[in-house]
């Protein structure tokens, strides 16, 4: 099944007044970034990706250089490359769930053995290394997590990340950390997984934090040279090289990234506060406080409510959309609220719609 079948881009953005489904900031306008691409030669690009862009990406992290960075077509293709390079029918995968759909659907299509470790609201959605250890088998080749976690916005403590890397080393497997929301952290910076250990593969992109999903630029970072070569070979089989236009736009944006990001950060901090104010007043719902990403994953306390009706009314009467629980293989009383995309006023109205909708269905 196409994973994005209910996504706003498929439904049509014009049908949605209050869009709280997105896990990103809103899309950047081409005219808002000063670009000069007139001299660009429309040749095949470097198979690894534009070297200057790789260098800029690596610069943010200690221990890493452009040698460790492979440019991909969005994080989506990086995840596909990792899954198809590391998993076979005979392999075993451990998925920390909820996870991004591709991190489950591609391995399912490959036909490998999959075990899920479910994060629980009751445990503050925190990751237990012991739970993961208990699922390890002789044929485990990959453990997969999203960080900041999608859809809860939870951050993994560095000690836990190191314990997971050590677990992978001991069992000769790898840790895939989908860090697509990385720059959208609300507090201090935390280390990139791949900069900590050569058993960790980090994936990210320009889509979520910089509002540039239309240029399809992402990357895969690994300190493991043989693994890196495998990923390059997979990239070449799928699309040879990236679009040089996309790479150039990302490169020029990255040169001024800090300037553009200042405004973005102010916006997400303001919207974060709006969500926190709303949830502390909305007693019919509860939430584990997010620390990163621009998403949170509250739940309706009363599971007896007609939740099908709830989403119908929310969408039709209030023209408000959130990511319902089934997007994440979770019960429908959970919902992902994305607070980076809407303006502050739209967010306030969207959250109010959820409360009004709860009034409506209890009647
Ligand atoms: C956790 C996560 N990983 C990867 C992706 C894919 O992003 P991209 O646009 O970089 O391909 C998404 C998009 O929704 C996501 O939420």
Residue 1 has pLDDT above 80, yes or no: no
Q: Clarify whether residues 77 and 114 are in a common domain.
A: yes
Q: Clarify whether residues 117 and 197 are in a common domain.
A: yes
Separation of alpha carbons 1 and 236, rounded Å: 26
User: Is omega for the bond preceding 148 within 30 degrees of 0, making it cis?
Assistant: yes
The Cα-based distances of 14 to 10, 19, 192, 350 in angstroms read 11, 10, 37, 15
CATH number at residue 285: 3.90.1150.10
* Residues 289 and 297 sit within 8 Å (Cβ to Cβ): no
The Cα-based distances of 71 to 42, 50, 63, 183 in angstroms read 17, 8, 18, 17
**What integer pLDDT is reported at residue 362 of this predicted model?**
80
Question: Ligand 1 center to residue 304 CA distance, Å?
Answer: 33
Q: Clarify whether residues 177 and 283 are in a common domain.
A: no
The per-residue pLDDT for range 241-294, each reduced to its tens digit, is 999 999 999 999 999 999 999 999 999 999 999 999 999 999 999 999 999 999
Q: Clarify whether residues 121 and 238 are in a common domain.
A: yes
The per-residue pLDDT for range 21-76, each reduced to its tens digit, is 999 999 999 999 989 999 999 999 999 999 999 999 999 898 899 999 999 999 99
Point out the domain boundary residue: 222, 255, 288: 255
Query: Is 100 close to ligand 1, i.e. is its CB under 6 Å away?
Result: yes
Q: Clarify whether residues 303 and 165 are in a common domain.
A: no
| Residue 288 within a domain | yes
Q: Please give the residue range of the domain that contains residue 121.
A: 36-255
pLDDT band at 218 (very low <50, low <70, confident <90, very high): very high
* Residues 219 and 72 sit within 8 Å (Cβ to Cβ): yes
Separation of alpha carbons 250 and 260, rounded Å: 13
CATH number at residue 76: 3.40.640.10
Question: Ligand 1 center to residue 98 CA distance, Å?
Answer: 14
**What integer pLDDT is reported at residue 16 of this predicted model?**
85
pLDDT band at 10 (very low <50, low <70, confident <90, very high): low
Query: Is 218 close to ligand 1, i.e. is its CB under 6 Å away?
Result: yes
Q: Clarify whether residues 21 and 81 are in a common domain.
A: no
Residue 228 has pLDDT above 70, yes or no: yes
Point out the domain boundary residue: 208, 234, 255: 255
Point out the domain boundary residue: 220, 237, 255: 255
pLDDT band at 9 (very low <50, low <70, confident <90, very high): low
* Better-predicted residue by pLDDT, 1 or 48: 48
| Residue 42 within a domain | yes
Q: What total of structural domains would you count in the chain? A: 2
Q: Clarify whether residues 22 and 40 are in a common domain.
A: no
Q: Clarify whether residues 20 and 68 are in a common domain.
A: no
Q: Clarify whether residues 187 and 274 are in a common domain.
A: no
Query: Is 75 close to ligand 1, i.e. is its CB under 6 Å away?
Result: yes
Question: Ligand 1 center to residue 156 CA distance, Å?
Answer: 19
Q: Clarify whether residues 63 and 198 are in a common domain.
A: yes
Q: Clarify whether residues 216 and 269 are in a common domain.
A: no
**What integer pLDDT is reported at residue 189 of this predicted model?**
78
Query: Is 74 close to ligand 1, i.e. is its CB under 6 Å away?
Result: yes
Q: Clarify whether residues 82 and 214 are in a common domain.
A: yes
**What integer pLDDT is reported at residue 2 of this predicted model?**
44
Separation of alpha carbons 292 and 128, rounded Å: 19
């Amino acid at each position: 099944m196409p994973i994005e079948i209910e996504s706003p881009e498929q439904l049509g953005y014009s049908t949605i007044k209050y869009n709280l489904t997105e896990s990103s900031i809103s899309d950047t306008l081409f005219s808002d970034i000063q670009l000069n691409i007139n001299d660009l030669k429309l040749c095949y690009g470097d198979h690894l990706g534009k070297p200057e862009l790789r260098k800029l990406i690596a610069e943010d992290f200690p221990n890493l250089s452009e040698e460790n960075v492979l440019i991909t077509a969005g994080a989506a293709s990086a995840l596909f490359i990792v899954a198809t390079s590391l998993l076979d029918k005979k392999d075993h995968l451990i998925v920390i769930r909820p996870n991004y759909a591709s991190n489950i659907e591609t391995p399912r299509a490959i036909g490998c053995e999959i075990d899920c470790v479910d994060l629980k609201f009751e445990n503050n959605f925190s990751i237990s290394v012991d739970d993961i250890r208990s699922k390890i088998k002789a044929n485990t080749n990959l453990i997969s997590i999203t960080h900041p976690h999608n859809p809860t916005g939870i951050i993994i403590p560095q000690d836990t990340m190191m314990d997971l890397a050590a677990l992978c080393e001991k069992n000769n497997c790898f840790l895939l950390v989908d860090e697509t929301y990385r720059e959208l952290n609300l507090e201090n910076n935390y280390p990139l997984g791949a900069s900590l250990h050569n058993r960790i593969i980090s994936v990210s992109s320009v889509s979520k934090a910089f509002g540039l999903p239309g240029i399809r630029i992402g990357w895969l970072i690994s300190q493991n040279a043989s693994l890196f070569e495998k990923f390059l070979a997979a990239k070449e089989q799928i699309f040879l090289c990236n679009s040089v236009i996309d790479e150039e736009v990302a490169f020029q944006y990255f040169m001024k990234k800090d300037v553009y990001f200042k405004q973005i950060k102010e916006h997400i901090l303001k919207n974060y506060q709006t969500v926190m104010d709303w949830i502390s007043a909305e007693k019919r719902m509860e939430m584990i406080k997010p620390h990163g990403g621009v998403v949170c994953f509250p739940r309706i306390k009363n599971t007896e409510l007609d939740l099908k009706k709830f989403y119908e009314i929310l969408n039709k009467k209030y023209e408000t959309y959130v990511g319902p629980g089934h997007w994440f293989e979770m019960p429908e009383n959970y919902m992902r609220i994305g607070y980076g995309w809407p303006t502050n006023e739209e967010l306030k109205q969207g959250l109010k719609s959820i409360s009004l909708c709860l009034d409506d269905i209890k009647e």
